């Protein structure tokens, strides 16, 4: 029944990745019913294969593009959008994690992110200068415990004004991709990146592994043509 439903949905133009998520949600629901002893049979989706999905392009901003974006954000009427963006670029935080920061989450050169997508708290180090800038921003613009007010629409306006080309479905997430990409290009460790991003699985973080300079250098040195000296 689900396979037939899935076939009808794919024919209407629904993306395979969306249907794979629906399948995983329903499979998880059956697994929970089995655990609670409400379902006595085998999980009906356990043997149904998910669609193979071509991995999408992983785009990020180079340093010149980041400089252009920061310059534009600095002129925004929204007093928070620049600092929220800097948090994302400095820590790899998701926009919602950065925008919802409270002053108590900034201590001793660390930002602690809580209520994350993976449900696990994580701490990311920042420079002393940036910590001071965040605390100064809180003193001037903070409300209650919160450092920032909503700034999403202002970020969207800045991206539009700079004419930066983003992949489909990306907006604020380009900041997180940019952090991770530059981290790896500058010699960062993939396991450390997994912890910084808060990925539950290393598989998700491995999307950035190909950017490692060690990886690229090995490709130059260890291919058969190079070894033959041709």
Q: How far apart are CA 105 and CA 117, in angstroms?
A: 17
176 classed as catalytic: yes
Q: Write down the residue that tokens 């130059």 correspond to.
A: 220
Which positions ≥6 away from 9 have C-beta within 8 Å? 19
94 classed as catalytic: yes
The pair of three-digit structure tokens given for residue 55, joined into one six-digit string = 């991995």
Single out the catalytic residue among 72, 80, 177, 208.
Answer: 208
Single out the catalytic residue among 9, 173, 195, 207.
Answer: 173
Single out the catalytic residue among 6, 80, 86, 94.
Answer: 94
221 classed as catalytic: no
49 classed as catalytic: no
208 classed as catalytic: yes
Single out the catalytic residue among 6, 176, 177, 182.
Answer: 176
- Over its C-alpha atoms, the chain yields an Rg (Å, rounded) of 22
| DSSP code string of the chain | -HHHHHHHHHHTT--HHHHHHHHHHHHHHHHHHHHTTS--S--TTTTPPPPP-PPPP-----HHHHHHHHHHHTT-S-SSHHHHHHHHHHH---HHHHHT-BGGGEETTEEEE-S-TTS--EEEE--HHHHHHHHHHHHHH-BTTBS----HHHHHHHHHHHT----TT-STHHHHHHHHHHHHHTT--HHHHHHHHT-SSHHHHGGGGGG-HHHHHHHHHHSHHHHHT-
Single out the catalytic residue among 8, 15, 21, 117.
Answer: 117
The pair of three-digit structure tokens given for residue 40, joined into one six-digit string = 């006595």
Active site residue ranges: 94, 117, 173, 176, 199, 208
């Amino acid at each position: 029944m689900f396979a037939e439903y899935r076939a009808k949905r794919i024919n209407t133009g629904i993306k395979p990745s969306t249907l794979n998520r629906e399948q995983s949600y329903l499979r998880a629901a059956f697994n929970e019913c089995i655990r609670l002893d409400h379902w006595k049979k085998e999980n009906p989706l356990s043997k149904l294969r998910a669609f193979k999905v071509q991995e999408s392009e992983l785009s990020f901003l180079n340093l010149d593009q980041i400089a252009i974006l920061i310059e534009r954000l600095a002129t925004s009427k929204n007093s928070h959008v620049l600092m929220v963006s800097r948090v994302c670029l400095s820590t790899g935080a998701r926009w919602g994690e950065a925008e919802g920061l409270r002053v108590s989450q900034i201590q001793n050169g660390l930002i602690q992110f809580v209520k994350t997508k993976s449900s696990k708290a994580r701490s990311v180090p920042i420079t002393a200068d940036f910590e001071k800038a965040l605390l100064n921003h809180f003193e001037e613009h903070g409300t209650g415990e919160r450092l920032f007010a909503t700034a999403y629409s202002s970020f969207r306006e800045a991206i539009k004004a700079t004419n930066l080309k983003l992949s489909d479905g990306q907006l604020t997430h380009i900041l997180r991709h940019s952090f991770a990409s530059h981290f790896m290009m500058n010699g960062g460790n993939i396991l450390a990146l997994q912890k910084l991003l808060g990925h539950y699985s290393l598989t998700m973080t491995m999307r950035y592994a190909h950017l490692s300079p060690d990886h690229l250098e090995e490709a130059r040195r260890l291919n058969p043509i190079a070894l033959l000296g041709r």
